[in-house]
Amino acid sequence: MEKMELRDSKMAGATPDKPPPYSESFQNPGGPNMTLPTAPPIRPVVHTVVMQQMGPRSTTIVCKSCNHQIQTRVEFQPTTKTHLFALVLCLIGCWPFACLPYCMDSCNSADHYCPSCNAYIGSYVN
Ligand SMILES: [Zn+2]
């Protein structure tokens, strides 16, 4: 009887019931339904307005947006350079003239717009 019991316990010890539950760690933490976020399909963005190298003055051009031959409307916008000029003028003590770069067209970028459809056509940056 003793022998039988020993053998039984030995058998039970020799054959482990289950391997460690590795399967849990191998599973996707988010579950099987979790998929990687797929990037949205890249669609070619059609810009009706094409950036164009323009001059500082109003020019006659065919608007790419409304296909009309127009005389561009020029708006001068201060650029980083304009702000830098103003800052430098302040730093060297010429602060009364700090607004000067903003008044000078040559220090600003000239943005060209279509007068009929207001489409942005291009800029001229010094
Ligand atoms: Zn236009």
* Nearest alpha-carbon partner for 125 in 110, 112, 103, 114: 110
Question: What is the whole-number distance in angstroms between the Cα of residue 119 and the centre of ligand 1?
Answer: 5
DSSP 99: T
Cα 120 to Cα 48, 51, 60, 79: the distances in Å are: 10, 8, 14, 17
Q: Rounded distance, CA 21 to CA 27, Å? A: 11
Whether residue 72 contacts residue 58, with contact meaning beta carbons closer than 8 Å, is answered with: yes
- Residue 68 CA to ligand 1 center (angstroms) comes to 6
Q: Is this structure's pTM higher than 0.85?
A: no
Distance 63 CA to ligand 1 centre (A): 5
Contacts of residues 25-29 at CB distance under 8 Å and 24 or more positions apart, as own/partner, are none
Helix (H) or strand (E) holding 69: strand 69-71
CA of 121 to the centre of ligand 1 (A): 8
Cβ distance 60 to 70 under 8 Å? yes
Q: What is the pLDDT along the chain (126 residues), one digit of tens a residue?
A: 555 555 555 555 555 566 655 555 555 555 566 666 676 667 665 544 455 668 889 999 999 999 999 999 999 999 999 999 999 999 999 989 999 999 988 888 999 999 999 999 999 887
Whole-number Å distance, alpha carbon 114 to ligand 1 midpoint, is 5
Beta bridge partner(s), residue 120 = 113
**Centroid of ligand 1 to alpha carbon of 116 (angstroms):** 5
